[in-house]
């Protein structure tokens, strides 16, 4: 039976650590640690703004997290260097399995949706730059409801936009908080364990399926 599948973007389809090579030119060996802290702070800021009901779009969270991380590591990044990093974030590289995995799912008749904390225009631009937009029936952004994952209202918004019920909808994400949020909202969920060292939160809420990449997911539901 054809499924309606929501794909997280950052960290699932696109490698947020792809920015490391640019960072190395600015701060050398600190780049990888800096990138991880930037990403974690970006998510933390979105969570906090959601809880405070003080919504600001994801690009603002990203910029503020970069400013924090630069200060934390005393990196002394110039405004020009920060602008270069933020520009690169709009052109992140997709994971190597993205094209083949998405293509297989579409060929099997499933309807795919890009489902992200980012704004519509940012996600459209990212997908188009990587030539992935053609695989998706639509783009669903949290910006429409002015909150962030894992707020239950965000997953309800996806169900409305995709005209699906929770029982027929799937969420695919590498982020445990997203998988847990979707599962709690009644969706089927897939955790893409991008790293063998990744740990799933021990909350007693498990993903429907755990896979190492999108090709494995496509094979398991075909």
Q: pLDDT tens for the chain, 222 residues: list them.
A: 789 999 999 999 999 999 999 999 999 999 999 999 999 999 999 999 999 999 999 999 999 999 999 999 999 999 999 999 999 989 999 999 999 999 999 999 999 999 999 999 999 999 999 999 999 999 999 999 999 999 999 999 999 999 999 888 999 999 999 999 999 999 999 999 999 999 999 999 999 999 999 999 999 987
**Surface-to-core class of residue 93, CB atoms within 10 Å of its CB (0-12 exposed, 13-18 middle, 19+ buried):** middle
Residue ranges per domain, the chain?
A: 4-14+93-221, 16-89
SS3 112: strand
pLDDT of residue 2: 87
How is domain 16-89 classified at the architecture level of CATH?
Orthogonal Bundle (1.10)
Q: Which of 145, 91, 125, 109 is nearest to 4 (CA)?
A: 109
d(CA 94, CA 48): 28
DSSP label at residue 118: S
pLDDT of residue 135: 98
pLDDT of residue 42: 97
CATH superfamily of 4-14+93-221: HAD superfamily/HAD-like (3.40.50.1000)
Catalytic residue among 8, 15, 97, 178: 8
Catalytic residue flag (residue 79): no
Residues 187/8, Cβ–Cβ less than 8 Å: no
For residue 108 the two structure tokens come to 């099997």
């Amino acid at each position: 039976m054809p499924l309606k599948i929501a794909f997280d973007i950052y960290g699932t389809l696109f490698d947020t650590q792809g920015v490391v090579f640019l960072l190395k030119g600015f701060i050398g060996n600190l780049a990888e640690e800096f990138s991880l802290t930037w990403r974690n702070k970006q998510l933390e800021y979105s969570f906090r703004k959601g809880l405070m009901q003080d919504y600001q779009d994801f690009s603002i969270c990203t910029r503020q997290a970069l400013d924090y991380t630069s200060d934390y590591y005393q990196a002394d990044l110039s405004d020009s260097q920060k602008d270069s990093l933020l520009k690169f974030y709009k052109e992140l590289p997709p994971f190597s399995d993205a094209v083949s995995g998405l293509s297989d799912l579409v060929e099997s008749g499933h309807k795919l949706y890009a489902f992200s904390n980012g704004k519509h225009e940012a996600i459209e631009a990212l997908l188009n730059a990587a030539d992935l937009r053609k695989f998706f029936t639509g783009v669903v952004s949290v910006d429409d409801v002015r909150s962030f994952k894992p707020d239950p209202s965000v997953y309800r918004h996806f169900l409305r936009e995709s005209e699906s019920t929770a029982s027929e909808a799937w969420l695919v994400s590498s982020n445990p908080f997203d998988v847990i949020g979707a599962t709690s909202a009644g969706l089927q969920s897939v955790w893409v364990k991008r790293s063998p060292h990744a740990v799933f939160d021990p909350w007693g809420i498990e993903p429907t399926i755990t896979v190492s990449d999108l090709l494995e997911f496509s094979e398991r539901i075909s």
